[in-house]
Amino acid sequence: MTFMNHCAAAGRTSRSMRDRAQRGPGAIFICYRSADSCGYAALLYLELTRVLGPQRLFLAGESISAGARFDVEIVDGVHRAAVMLAVMGPPWLDARGADGRRLIDDPDDWIRRELTIAFARGCRVIPILTDATSLPGGADLPPEISALSTCSYRRLGHRDIRWNLARIIADLAPRRSPLARPLLPRPLPRVA
């Protein structure tokens, strides 16, 4: 049995009661590497929870009950998602394991697994590039997730955090976004 089949089968039988009751249609899965973008992932979760409510969101640290099998819960979360926000910081692509290999090249890397499932299901994947991160090229990614290089992305950086968050919310819930209301044009940066 392949990893994907094993987790898919396990996910149908071991989901926590809380997560089964909460996530429904339109669920949003926040995918992130702890070592490079957990702060931005948490910020997205908090802001989206404020606007959309927690029932539509999956963030591993918040959505998995104590004692639940995280592997099953993560796979189930991706299967239930309509949208995946792939939060990517500068070291995302080149993060390395203890053996010196890039993590993304390891078939057992959780980020790769999550993205693989999302693309296989036809889930809408929105890369969220933090600060000065660049979108990886298709040749830099494993074939099963190379489509990530062609997904339209959004930025999330400390300099324009409110604007960036408003734009992401507009993508996910247009009627609830501050951008749905008439706003003054975004101010130009001051030149000294």
Nearest Cα neighbor of 73 from 64, 82, 81 is 64
Cβ neighbours of residue 6 closer than 8 Å, sequence gap 6 or more: none
The 10s digit of each residue's pLDDT in 107-148 is 999 999 999 999 999 999 999 999 999 999 999 999 999 999
C-beta atoms surrounding 154 within 10 Å: 15
14 token code pair = 């071991």
Which secondary-structure segment (H or E) carries 18?
A: helix 17-22
> Which phi and psi angles does 129 have, rounded to 5°?
-90, 120
| pTM: predicted TM-score of the whole model, two decimal places | 0.80
User: How sure is the predictor about 152, in pLDDT bands with cuts at 50, 70 and 90?
Assistant: very high
The one-character DSSP state at 61 is H
pLDDT at 175: 66
CA distance 64 to 126: 22
Q: Which CATH number does the domain 26-175 belong to among 3.30.70.520, 3.30.1490.100, 1.10.3720.10, 3.40.50.10140?
A: 3.40.50.10140
Of residues 173 and 11, more confidence is placed in: 173
pLDDT at 41: 96
CA distance 81 to 57: 9
List the domain boundaries for the chain. 26-175
CA distance 58 to 27: 7
Cβ neighbours of residue 53 closer than 8 Å, sequence gap 6 or more: none
